[in-house]
Structure 1
């Protein structure tokens, strides 16, 4: 049976956060918010099983950027794109995008002509396959590549605008995934260029702590709403989103990134199992998928039902669990609802989830599939 304990809380933060979340949705309408669900090709979730009515946008991860446009990572992906477009039979308002991660350096470093060739080729590719847009997920440009990357974004916006006018069609979407690190964000992006040219961007407000023997060898939260005591505010969802807002990125174009997975650790001493406890390695593979250091949400619920202890940190707005030497930071319905309400009250554009594939697809947690996605949907309206 799951055991629940409450960790020490800084009362001023707790009182503020509780009052904020309790009142935020009264003040702000959520009905027009964007809800992007990233999809990783997986036998766990066949495309036909994607909950098309929960998300406003589904983004296929990943294809590659090439000098001639967009290249599928695998030839079989072309058929998968078509399957995703077919989800519009279930939800006619659904937008289907493809995310690009690799290949940007050769394009950006190639100069304007190469950028224009890429942009025009990508637009043709998207139209041919009846996709609604493209997501740029370059992780990450160097300082020297910033100007070129911003130029590429401007060129791409012009290409999709010109094509839409020429053909009398709705413009394709240009979206992005943005860094969870203020230093990278500072050297990689010009916020005025992003505000002028993109439709929206998901800030990857997760992976703030991942075990590293030299630099991150104590337990830490994967995606806290508010940074714990003693940590930089930028190691949190609120801290990074506030950074982007202050840096000049338009609020309505910012999506809060929410993870459906947790990060796990092996404790050095199973009797010392709190936040910032010494750890010796990434956690053993979770019970649902066999990847070191990762628990998907279904695996979280399996662990809790098998006797793990859940601890709720009201100051940080997230839970963690421990069992013997296993320690996992994760998000659940309670933390996801708190984050979503903060996003709505802050007038952000919405939520981006990495990824729908890692939610509980079997009903292990609540008896209903995709509980985290459903929680976000209920918050956004």
Structure 2
């Protein structure tokens, strides 16, 4: 209704004023003003982009967590596609790197100011007996978040080293790659006859991250933010290499484009 719209505009104006004042204050101290955009936030509804973009050095778009088991307990899907997924009525708009950066760029945000947030983790759902056993997303009839890992201990969230350990040691866990570097990778195990032990995981690994970095470089975007470094393999427990996702980003960004 009109009252809600008026309140939304008021909040947006207040945020605009805050960003402008912070930016002026930071620039007096030779600081940098960066804006982090959470997943599934409507840029045109919550931000007056034309009024803030000259005050912002970078806009980091969180290109992950479009689907997660807390918000979408009954349906598992790719959490961080690079390109738009096959269109159907069940999938949300603006749920890929390509769609997000184009949304901001269409509002006259320069490419060099757009930073893409990439995850160092995966999202895990419990598959039920009713879930499609081939694991192809979107997977219906999931049963909320899967159990957390031994390190993160957060239901529905697994760090990259926790996922790597599962891939190496969990029986009957099938990994599905993304040869076109479009949607992302996932691994799954259907539930048994009693409805137990089913799991479906959408995640990033060094190979999928490398493909994302190439996409970001090829489109001349401003950079990459890792969310977050504590969920990378900081101890090298997977294959002996410490911080493999961070290293992949650094290596791919530093390569000569020619």
Match of 1:158 in 2: 24
Q: Is the 8 A contact 1:317 1:338 kept in 2?
A: no
- Show CA shifts across 1:242-268 (max 9, x none): 111112222111101100011110012
- Show CA shifts across 1:128-166 (max 9, x none): xxxxxxxxxxxxx954311111111112222233x34xx
TM-score of the aligned structures, taking structure 1 as reference length:
0.57
TM-score of the aligned structures, taking structure 2 as reference length:
0.83
Q: How do 1:132-171 residues align onto structure 2 when only pairs under 5 Å count? A: 142-161=8-27, 163-164=28-29, 171=30
Match of 1:112 in 2: none
Q: How do 1:1-381 residues align onto structure 2 when only pairs under 5 Å count? A: 142-161=8-27, 163-164=28-29, 171-181=30-40, 184-212=42-70, 217-229=74-86, 230=88, 231-269=91-129, 271-278=133-140, 279-307=142-170, 308-315=173-180, 316-324=182-190, 325-381=198-254
Question: 1:333 Cα shift?
Answer: 1.1
- Take 1:335 and 1:369, find their aligned partners in 2: how far apart are those partners? 17
CA gap of 1:273–1:190, structure 2 versus 1, over 3 A, is: same
- Show CA shifts across 1:46-86 (max 9, x none): xxxxxxxxxxxxxxxxxxxxxxxxxxxxxxxxxxxxxxxxx
Q: Which runs of 5+ in 2 are unaligned?
A: 1-6, 191-197
Q: Is the 8 A contact 1:287 1:303 kept in 2?
A: no
Q: Is the 8 A contact 2:117 2:224 kept in 1?
A: yes
Deviates most, 198-207 or 371-380: 198-207
Q: Is the 8 A contact 2:73 2:143 kept in 1?
A: no
- Take 1:216 and 1:240, find their aligned partners in 2: how far apart are those partners? 24
- Take 1:254 and 1:320, find their aligned partners in 2: how far apart are those partners? 27
CA gap of 1:216–1:246, structure 2 versus 1, over 3 A, is: farther
Question: 1:367 Cα shift?
Answer: 1.4
Question: 1:290 Cα shift?
Answer: 1.2
Match of 1:77 in 2: none
* Number of equivalenced pairs: 232
- Take 2:52 and 2:226, find their aligned partners in 1: how far apart are those partners? 20
Structure 1 SS opposite 2:143: strand
Deviates most, 355-364 or 285-294: 285-294
Structure 2 SS opposite 1:226: coil
Q: Which runs of 5+ in 1 are unaligned?
A: 1-140, 165-170
Q: Is the 8 A contact 2:122 2:203 kept in 1?
A: yes
Question: 1:186 Cα shift?
Answer: 1.2
Q: Is the 8 A contact 1:180 1:240 kept in 2?
A: no
Deviates most, 360-369 or 336-345: 360-369
Cα-Cα RMSD: 2.0
Question: 1:216 Cα shift?
Answer: 5.4
- Take 1:217 and 1:373, find their aligned partners in 2: how far apart are those partners? 32
Q: Which has the larger radius of gyration?
A: 1
